[in-house]
Every structure is written in C-alpha cells, then in structure tokens.
Amino acid sequence: MLISTFAFSLMQLCVKELAHLPTSELIFFRSIISLALSLGYLIPRGINPFGNNRKFLFLRGFFGVLALTGFFITLQNMPLATAVTIQYLSPIFTALVAIFVLGERMKAIQWLFFGIAFCGVALLKGFDDRVSVLYLLMGVLSALFSGAAYNCIRILKDTDHPIVVVFYFPLVALPITGVLAYLNWVTPIGWDWLTLILLGVFTQIGQVYMTKSLQAEKANLVVSLNYLGSIYALVYGYFLYDEVYPITSILGILLVLSGVILNVGFKDRFGLN
C-alpha cells in the first residue's frame, strides 16, 4: 500500500501537469498503457484475462471509470490537496455500500465519524473560493464510485487474479473514453507524450499494488496508509504550484482525515469487516 500511495501521488502530478488536455484523453492514454502492461503480464503466464466473475469484474471497471473521470477533473480544477482529500471520502462510501452489497454492520458511532468527515468537506468549500460547488459535488461522486469499485474488488478476491481485476478498467474505459477523446481531441505536444506515458505507468503500479493489498489483507489494516497521499499533495502543491491553504482549509483536511481514520480504526478494533 505504501508503494501504491506513492505511485498514485506521482500520477496526480502528471494529471496536474496535463490540465490543458481533456480528461477523457488522459484516461484513454492511461487505459492503452494499462491494457498493454496487463496483457503483457497475463498472457505469458497462461492466465485468462477475462477472468471468472465477469459480472463484478465489469462493474469494477465501470465504477472505476466513473470514479477516475471525476477525480481527474477535480485534480485539474481544484488545489491539489483539496482534490485528493475529497477523494479520501471513498472509505466512508465503501462502508456505506458494503451495508447493502456485503451485509456489513454499521455502529451508531460510525455515523458520527462520517459526520466529522463531511464537516471537513463543508469547511473546504465554505472558506476556499477556489473550490466550486460543481467540482466539489463531482469529487464526492468520484469518492462514491470509488467506494463501489472497492467493494467489487473485495468480492473478487477469491475468484480472480489481481491483474485480471486491474485489466478490466482499461477494457471498459477504452471504448467509452475513445469516443469522447475523438470528439474533444487536443493533440499532445512535446513533453506531454512522456508525461502521458508516466501517467499510465504510475497508475498501473498504484492499481496493482492497491489491488494486491486489498486482496491479501483486511482492508482496515492497509487503507489508513493511503492517507499519506494528503501529505504528498500538500507538499507538491506548496512547492510546485505555489498553493497556499488558509487555516480553515487545513482544518477541513484534518477533519476529513480524522473522520475517515477514526472509522477505519473503530472497524478494526471491533472486527467489523
């Protein structure tokens, strides 16, 4: 999960650097690279890339496309740490979706933790005019779809290889983003091409190691490591993009992370998986 978190932080930098390109185009190129890397791993080992539980493999890919599209848009239109922090609401939505999909239990105190996190989101919006309502809602929806995708990954842990799970993202994404990219095409120039390649490579590394960690260990034990990404985003934003955050935004970030981490710790302590 540490490798995954660092790889995703570098992916976020690539997206930020490519803000002049349409989101659909970024996901299209990212999907081509992920498809090639996944097939390059699966075929020589004789692993069927289309997997076993194809219904949930498709749903994992579909929810993943929706989540990544929303996340990339917020990365391009919000301060880096704000966009990343809102995406960290995904464990809350993972828990909420799991009530209906996996039949998991929810304690009353967990709703308090969720409330703390969403108070943090309200602070991020209310005192930072760089955050619009549209992009805030898009970020929250992205976290919701991420939560749905994570539940699919957990369902697939006993039926399909981690790389097969990763493979279904580009398999679903390419037809959708290919059409959208064609309709809104902007030709990359110069260093854009290298950045697009790195975007695909870093995302693939992040996806593979995240999937392996979620399938190899209890989600509660590994997901908290993911929040190092907020630290990366604050550092990158400050030194690379001159992003300065008012104290209210810092408080909002801390509230979001506190609410999510408290929920994760509570579930781990009482064995609610």
Per-residue pLDDT of the chain (273 residues; tens, 9 = 90+): 888 889 999 999 999 999 999 999 999 999 999 899 999 999 999 999 999 999 999 999 999 999 999 999 998 888 888 888 888 787 778 778 877 777 777 777 878 888 888 888 777 766 667 778 899 899 999 999 998 998 898 888 889 998 899 899 999 999 999 999 999 999 999 999 999 999 999 988 988 887 787 767 665 556 666 777 777 888 888 888 888 877 887 888 888 888 877 776 666 555 544
Q: In the numeric block, which tokens belong to residue 192?
A: 């854009």
Count CB atoms within 10 A of the CB of residue 20: 10
> What's the whole-model pTM score?
0.82
If one counts every other C-beta atom within 10 angstroms of the C-beta of residue 93, the result is 23
At which residue do the structure tokens 């880096």 appear?
A: 80
The amino acid present at 102, given as its one-letter code, is L
Q: 103 is written with which tokens?
A: 């039949």
Per the structure, how many domains does the chain have?
Answer: 1
Cα distances from 122 to residues 71, 91, 132, 133, 252, in angstroms, run 18, 18, 12, 10, 7
> Residue 210, CB half-sphere, CA atoms under 13 Å: how many?
22
For residue 198, what are the domain limits? Answer: 2-269
Residue with tokens 């991020």: 124
Q: Which pLDDT score, from 0 to 100, does residue 219 have? A: 56
pLDDT value for 273? 47
CB 27 within 8 A of CB 135: no
Q: Do 260 and 88 form a contact (C-beta atoms < 8 A)?
A: yes
